[in-house]
Amino acid sequence: MNKKTVRDIEVAGRRVFVRVDFNVPLDQGRITDDHRITAALPTIAYLCDHDAAVILASHLGRPKGPEPSLRMDPIARRLQELLRRPVRKLDDCVGPEVEAAVGAMRRGDVVLLENLRFHPEEEANDPSFARGLARLAEVYVNDAFGTAHRAHASTVGVAKLLPAVAGLLMERELTFLGKVLEAPTRPLVAILGGKKVEDKIGVIRNLLRLAQTMLIGGGMCYTFLRAAGGKIGASLCEADKLDLAGELMADAQRRGVRLLLPVDVVAAQRPSADAAVRTVDARAIPDGWMGLDIGPRTEAAFAAPIAAAGTVLWNGPMGVFELAPFAHGTQAVARAVAESPAESIVGGGDTASAVEQLGYADKMTHISTGGGATLEFMEGKVLPGVAVLMDR
């Protein structure tokens, strides 16, 4: 990683603006998963321990102007519990009152600004709004990898106005994901799932240059199975991506990449927790039935290369893991990755949620906090929120 971090600059006695990703799931004001908050703790603790005044900024949800249900108050309460030090939550993120509160901060103080996206200028990367944020601090730190693919005021605009470096979580993300693209321990096994081929086209193309084995499951596998001549019943299929799927399989063959599709699937007539299920041949799914998970023979076929891998990159569940009848394939892959001696990198979003829910999080080398950002990084794209940070 060639970007400067909080360790490379003087922070003592300085006001430090930290872009964090506290976009956590809420249920009637209660946080249901605080992983994104805990992931930012090392950077916040480092800054506090080194006598900085810490100004935290994040978005929450997708508000269209101020929304009481998306205020940052529950996040401030939870952060205070985790940090074991006071966290003052402010009622806005720009303006004279915010500037006065920040100006009164002492070394080691922590404030959390109100939801950035209450202001439409945030997503528009409005220069005036960025200047308003920049007036609060002397140093900028981006520790929000999950938003680094967005050129917003808090990810790019402020960073152009202040000395800008990476936080410790951002450093970890760039180090582990960067190693996969630049110098993975081989063999590299890429596991790709999720609903749509369209969402993973760039990732597949890029990883075909790097991986020795690619395992494809989830809803996207049925487009590949049909392109390969299989009968997929009522399974999810992107008809406009059939030619592309065929091209990707041909590309894998040309490059000598072993691309494995499911050999059996767990099928049902509807995705429901009480649906009747059958395990059927992946290329002979009956009419009216849809594949909703990989089957036991596929689990075994996928487990073998995972066990022999030097690096495993996993992005996308193997089925509708939220429903018990279709969770076994994702669980089996998670177990195989956890038991493998390989360095294991788990993409964010649904894959991270699945690994957390299934109890395998502590067995993975790195679980990314990014969803779209992780995918774009794995495609080889430059992330605006990373590019703007100072190089070493």
pLDDT in tens, 340-392: 999 999 987 788 888 888 889 899 999 998 888 998 999 999 999 999 999 99
> 188-206 pLDDT, tens per residue?
999 999 888 888 899 999 9
How confident is the model over 141-152, as a mean pLDDT?
96
What pLDDT score does 11 carry?
98
The answer, as to whether pTM is greater than 0.85, is: yes
> 249-300 pLDDT, tens per residue?
999 999 999 999 999 999 999 999 999 999 999 999 999 999 999 999 999 9
- Is residue 146 part of the annotated active site? The answer reads no
What pLDDT score does 65 carry?
93
- Is residue 372 part of the annotated active site? The answer reads yes
How confident is the model over 308-328, as a mean pLDDT?
95
- Which member of 135, 196, 258, 335 is catalytic? 196
The closest alpha carbon to 264, from 246, 284, 245, 238, belongs to 284
Binding residue ranges for ATP: 200, 291, 322, 348-351
What pLDDT score does 349 carry?
77
What pLDDT score does 276 carry?
96
Give the integer Cα–Cα distance in Å for 278 and 300: 18
Q: Which secondary-structure segment (H or E) carries 302?
A: helix 296-307
Q: Is the pLDDT of residue 150 over 90?
A: yes
- Is residue 14 part of the annotated active site? The answer reads no
- Which member of 3, 36, 71, 226 is catalytic? 36
- Which member of 194, 233, 347, 349 is catalytic? 349
> 20-74 pLDDT, tens per residue?
999 999 998 999 989 899 999 999 999 999 999 999 999 999 999 999 999 999 9
Establish whether the linkage from the previous residue to 341 is cis, with ω within 30° of 0: no
What pLDDT score does 35 carry?
87
What pLDDT score does 352 carry?
86
130 pLDDT band (50/70/90 cuts)?
A: very high
How confident is the model over 93-113, as a mean pLDDT?
98
Give the integer Cα–Cα distance in Å for 91 and 385: 26
Binding residue ranges for substrate: 21-23, 36, 59-62, 117, 150
The closest alpha carbon to 263, from 232, 294, 220, belongs to 294
- Is residue 349 part of the annotated active site? The answer reads yes
- Name all domains of the chain by residue range, CATH numbers in brackets: 6-171 (3.40.50.1260), 184-378 (3.40.50.1260)
115 pLDDT band (50/70/90 cuts)?
A: very high
What pLDDT score does 199 carry?
85
Q: Which amino acid is at 237?
A: C
What pLDDT score does 149 carry?
96
CB 193 within 8 A of CB 217: yes
Q: Is the pLDDT of residue 302 over 80?
A: yes
What pLDDT score does 23 carry?
95
Binding residue ranges: 21-23, 36, 59-62, 117, 150, 200, 291, 322, 348-351
What pLDDT score does 33 carry?
86
Only one residue has tokens 């929120």, namely 385
